[in-house]
Amino acid sequence: MKFNIIFFISSILLLNCNGQTSKNMSHKFTNQLVNETSPYLLQHAHNPVNWMPWNDKTLEHAKNKNKLILISIGYASCHWCHVMEHESFEDTLVAQTMNTNFVNIKVDREERPDIDQVYMNAVQLMTGRGGWPLNVVALPDGRPVWGGTYFKKDQWINVLEQLANLHEKDPDKLLDYASKLEQGIKSMDMVVLNKEEPVFKIGFIDNVVSEWSKSFDHKKGGSKRAPKFMMPNNYQFLLRHAYQNDDTELQEFVNLTLTKMALGGIYDQLGGGFSRYSVDNKWHVPHFEKMLYDNAQLVSLYSDAYLITKNELYKQVVYETLGFIEKELTSAEGVFYSSLDADSLNKNNELVEGAFYVWQKEELKNLLKDDYEVFSNYYNINNYGYWEHDNYVLIRNQEDEEFVRNHKLNIEKFKAKKKEWKQILLQEREKRSKPRLDDKTLTSWNSLMIKGYLDAYRVFQDRSFLNIAMKNANFILTKQINSDGSLFRNYKEGTSSINAYLIDYATTIEAFISLYQATSDEKWLYSARNLSNYSFDNYYDESSNMFFFTSIKDPKLVTRNIDFRDNVIPSSNSIMAKNLFKLSHYFENTNYLKTATSMLNNVKPEMATYGSGFSNWLDLMLNYSNPYFEVAIVGKDAMQKTNELNQYYLPNILVANSQTRGELPLIKGRFIEDKTFIYVCVNNSCQLPAESIVKALKLIAE
Q: Is the CATH number 1.10.4080.10 carried by domain 202-342+438-625?
A: no
CB 200 within 8 A of CB 51: no
Q: What is the pLDDT of residues 292-304, one digit of tens each?
A: 999 999 999 999 9
Grouping H, G, I as helix, E, B as strand and the rest as coil, residue 43 is: helix
Rounded Cα distance between 335 and 85, Å, is 29
Closest CA to 19 of 180, 205, 157, 171: 157
Q: Which amino acid is it at 27?
A: H
- pLDDT for position 663: 86
CA torsion 85→90→91→96, rounded to 10°?
100
Which residues does 620 contact at the CB level (< 8 Å), separation at least 6?
574, 577, 578, 581, 596, 600
User: Residue 512 above 70 pLDDT?
Assistant: yes
CB 579 within 8 A of CB 532: yes
- β-strand partners of 134: 73
Task: Kindly write down the DSSP assignment for every residue of 510-536, as one continuous string.
Answer: HHHHHHHHHH--HHHHHHHHHHHHHHH
User: Residue 673 above 50 pLDDT?
Assistant: yes
- β-strand partners of 193: none
Rounded Cα distance between 98 and 164, Å, is 10
Q: What is the pLDDT of residues 332-377, one digit of tens each?
A: 999 999 999 999 999 999 999 999 999 999 999 999 999 999 999 9
Q: What is the pLDDT of residues 536-552, one digit of tens each?
A: 999 999 999 999 999 99
Band the pLDDT of 29: cuts 50, 70, 90.
low
- pLDDT for position 15: 37
Q: Provide the residue ranges of all domains of the chain, joining segments of one domain with +.
A: 2-188, 202-342+438-625, 357-431, 629-701
Q: Which CB contacts under 8 angstroms, 24+ apart, belong to 252-260?
A: 253/213, 253/216, 253/218, 253/221, 254/305, 255/305, 255/309, 255/311, 256/218, 256/221, 257/221, 257/222, 258/221, 258/301, 258/302, 258/305, 258/314, 259/221, 259/311, 259/313, 259/399, 260/220, 260/221, 260/222
Rounded Cα distance between 63 and 138, Å, is 11
Q: What is the pLDDT of residues 585-613, one digit of tens each?
A: 999 999 999 999 999 999 999 999 899 99
Give 140-152 as a 3 state SS string.
CCCCEEEEECCCC
Rounded Cα distance between 466 and 451, Å, is 10
- pLDDT for position 18: 34
Band the pLDDT of 28: cuts 50, 70, 90.
low
Which class would CATH give 2-188? Answer: alpha beta
Q: ∠ CA(282), CA(206), CA(307), 5° rounding?
A: 60
Q: What is the pLDDT of residues 381-419, one digit of tens each?
A: 999 999 999 999 999 999 999 999 999 999 999 999 999
Q: Which CB contacts under 8 angstroms, 24+ apart, belong to 366-374?
A: 367/424, 367/425, 367/428, 368/421, 368/424, 371/417, 371/420, 371/421, 374/407, 374/409, 374/417
Rounded Cα distance between 272 and 326, Å, is 11
| Average predicted confidence (pLDDT) for the chain | 93
- pLDDT for position 662: 85
With 0.85 as the threshold, say if the pTM is over it. yes
Band the pLDDT of 562: cuts 50, 70, 90.
very high
- The stretch 523-544 carries a mean pLDDT of 98
Closest CA to 242 of 206, 204, 207, 201: 206
- The stretch 146-170 carries a mean pLDDT of 95
Rounded Cα distance between 168 and 174, Å, is 10
